[in-house]
Amino acid sequence: MSLNPLTLIEKVITEHGSAAVQKTHLDLLKTQIVSLQSERDQLAEESAQLKMKLKEAEANLAELAKSENFVTKSGILWKPDGERFEPIPYCPRCKVPMTSAMNKFICCCCDFVTNKSRPPAKS
Ligand SMILES: [Zn+2]
């Protein structure tokens, strides 16, 4: 293993150059980290605000549902619609319209599930 002076100089230049490039990359990464932390904080604040708005909206919806004249049949709520009832019932807990799937009615808010049934005959 001989020490060729040109090889040695080339090695020094390469290593010194790499250190400069690494510093540049580190500076870039630091800038990106600061930017992402700021973005994360902004999103967390936005999320908190949206959660508060959702709570308010759910409370408003529950209040609105309470003011309706629901009829209970088969453990779920049915909303009068003229002479008949709406075909989709409301969750007895959340008072929101339930989703019809297979032979079940499902509440998307509280996961209340019940067998599908028909609305009351007539109001
Ligand atoms: Zn529910």
pLDDT in tens, 30-85: 999 999 999 999 999 999 999 999 999 988 887 776 667 888 999 999 998 888 89
| CB contact set of 95 (below 8 Å; sequence gap of 6+) | 61, 62, 65, 66, 68, 70, 77
Question: With contact defined as beta carbons under 8 Å apart, do 76 and 66 qualify?
Answer: no
**Mean pLDDT, residues 27-32 taken together:** 96
Write down the mean pLDDT value for the chain.
89
Q: How far is the CA of 77 from the centre of ligand 1 (A)?
A: 11
The pLDDT of residue 123 is above 70: no
CA 105–ligand 1 middle distance (angstroms): 10
Q: In DSSP terms, which residues pair with 73 in a beta bridge? A: 76
Q: Which pLDDT score is estimated for 48?
A: 98
Report the Cα 83 to chain-centroid distance in Å: 39
Taking ligand 1, which is a single-atom ion, which protein residues have CB atoms under 5 Å away?
91, 93-94, 107, 109-110, 112
Q: Where are the domains of the chain?
A: 1-67, 68-123
| pLDDT higher than threshold 70 for residue 1 | no
- How far apart are the CA of 94 and the centre of ligand 1, in A? 4
Q: In 31-45, which positions are buried (b, 16+ CB within 10 angstroms) versus exposed (e)? A: eeeeeeeeeeeeeee
Predicted TM-score of the model (pTM): 0.47
The rounded distance, in Å, linking the Cα atoms of 101 and 8 is 75
